[in-house]
C-alpha cells in the first residue's frame, strides 16, 4: 500500500496563491488551498522530503513574501484522495451575482446569478482567496459588452472566464506554469467558452495583441513592478487595470510605480491585509 506525507502549512500573512506557485516546482501529488492553510500531499516513494518544502518556505521568508510560517507533517496511507478533496471543496458566493462551483457539485442559481465552474486541480485561483474575490468584484463592476480582456498570471483561468460570463467579448489568460495552462484550458472547456477565452503559456511581453480594454494581474508586488512597462504597452488609452496579490504595505510602492507611467488609481478594495487597486490609463 502506498504511503503519503501530508504537510499542512500556515503562513503569516496568508499568501496561499504565491506559495502554491513556488511549491509546484517540486513534483508533488497535490496542493489544496483552504481558507486558513495549504495542504500538501506527496508519495513517500518520490524523491521529495519535508526539507525541500522547508527550503522553499525559508526562501519566501527571506524574500519577504511571508513573515513566518508553521509546518506540520503527517504520514497517511493510500485512499481516495479525490473523494476526500471533493468533500472539502465549497461553493463560493463571491457576490450576490457571482458564484464559483466545482463541476462535481450541483448549484441551482438564483435569477441573474452568474455561475463559474472551476476545478482547480494543480493550479491556484479558486476564488477562496481574498485577492481573487476582490478582482472578481471589480470585474463585475467594470466589464462592459465587447471588452477585450487580458489576465496575467491566469492560474485556473478564473478571471478570464469570469470576464466573458460578465459580458466581455474576448479574453486571453497567460501564465508561465504548464500546469496552469492545462488546468486553465480544462476550465475554459467546462464553461463552454473555447470560442471566447484563450489560455496561453507566455509572459506579457511575448503576446502580440494590444489595446486591451481591461487588464487584470493577481500576482505579487515584485512581479507587478517588473512588468509595469509591458502592461502600459498593452492597455488601451481608455483602459482599466486591476492589480491584486498585494498587501496593504505594498500600496505606496505600487502606486508610485504605476502613476509614474501615467496610470491613475481610482478605486481600492481591501479584505484583511490584502488589497486590490483599480487604475485608469
Mean pLDDT by 10 residues, the chain (281 residues): 81 82 76 80 82 92 90 76 66 93 90 91 65 95 97 94 98 88 93 97 96 94 94 97 92 97 97 93 92
pLDDT on residue 281: 92
The contacts of residue 80 (CB under 8 Å, 6+ apart) are none
For the domain 90-280, what is the CATH superfamily, name and number? Vaccinia Virus protein VP39 (3.40.50.150)
pLDDT on residue 76: 74
Say if residues 66 and 11 touch (Cβ distance below 8 Å): yes
User: Do the domains spanning 3-86 and 90-280 agree at the CATH topology level?
Assistant: no
CA distances from 250 to 29, 100, 226, 227, 247 (A): 33, 28, 14, 16, 5
Written out in words, the top-level CATH class of the domain with range 3-86 is: alpha beta
pLDDT on residue 30: 74
Bridge partners (DSSP) of residue 41 are 6, 30
Secondary-structure breakdown of the chain: helix, strand, coil percentages, each rounded to the nearest 5 = 30, 30, 35
DSSP string across 29-76: SEEEE-SS-EEEEEETTSS--HHHHHHHHHHHHHTTS-SEEEEEEEEE
pLDDT on residue 199: 97
- Distance between CA atoms of 56 and 19, rounded to whole angstroms? 9
pLDDT on residue 74: 86
- Distance between CA atoms of 17 and 244, rounded to whole angstroms? 11
Cell of 42: 506527496
Would you kindly state where each structural domain of the chain is located, as residue ranges?
A: 3-86, 90-280
What's the whole-model pTM score?
Answer: 0.78
Amino acid at each position: 500500500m502506498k504511503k503519503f506525507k501530508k504537510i499542512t502549512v500556515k503562513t503569516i500573512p496568508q499568501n496561499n496563491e504565491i506559495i502554491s506557485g513556488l511549491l509546484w516546482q517540486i513534483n508533488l501529488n497535490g496542493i489544496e488551498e483552504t481558507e486558513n492553510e495549504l495542504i500538501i500531499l506527496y508519495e513517500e516513494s518520490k524523491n521529495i522530503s519535508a526539507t525541500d518544502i522547508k527550503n522553499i518556505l525559508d526562501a519566501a521568508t527571506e524574500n519577504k513574501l511571508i513573515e513566518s510560517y508553521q509546518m506540520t507533517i503527517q504520514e497517511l496511507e493510500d485512499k481516495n484522495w479525490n473523494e476526500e478533496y471533493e468533500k472539502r471543496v465549497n461553493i463560493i458566493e463571491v457576490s450576490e451575482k457571482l458564484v464559483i462551483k466545482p463541476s462535481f457539485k450541483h448549484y441551482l442559481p438564483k435569477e441573474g446569478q452568474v455561475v463559474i465552474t472551476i476545478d482547480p486541480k494543480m493550479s491556484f485561483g479558486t476564488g477562496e482567496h481574498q485577492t481573487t474575490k476582490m478582482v472578481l468584484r471589480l470585474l463585475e463592476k467594470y466589464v462592459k459588452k465587447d471588452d477585450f480582456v487580458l489576465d496575467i498570471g491566469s492560474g485556473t483561468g478564473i478571471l478570464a472566464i469570469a470576464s466573458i460570463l460578465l459580458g466581455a467579448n474576448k479574453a486571453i489568460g497567460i501564465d508561465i506554469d504548464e500546469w496552469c495552462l492545462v488546468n486553465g484550458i480544462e476550465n475554459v472547456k467546462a464553461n463552454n467558452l473555447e470560442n471566447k477565452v484563450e489560455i496561453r503559456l507566455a509572459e506579457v511581453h511575448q503576446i502580440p495583441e494590444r489595446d486591451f480594454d481591461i487588464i487584470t494581474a493577481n500576482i505579487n508586488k515584485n512581479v507587478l513592478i517588473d512588468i509595469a512597462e509591458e502592461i502600459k504597452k498593452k492597455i488601451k488609452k481608455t483602459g482599466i487595470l486591476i492589480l491584486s496579490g498585494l498587501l496593504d504595505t505594498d500600496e505606496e510602492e505600487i502606486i508610485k510605480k504605476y502613476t509614474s507611467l501615467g496610470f491613475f488609481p481610482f478605486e481600492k478594495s481591501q479584505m484583511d491585509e490584502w488589497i486590490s487597486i483599480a487604475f485608469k490609463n
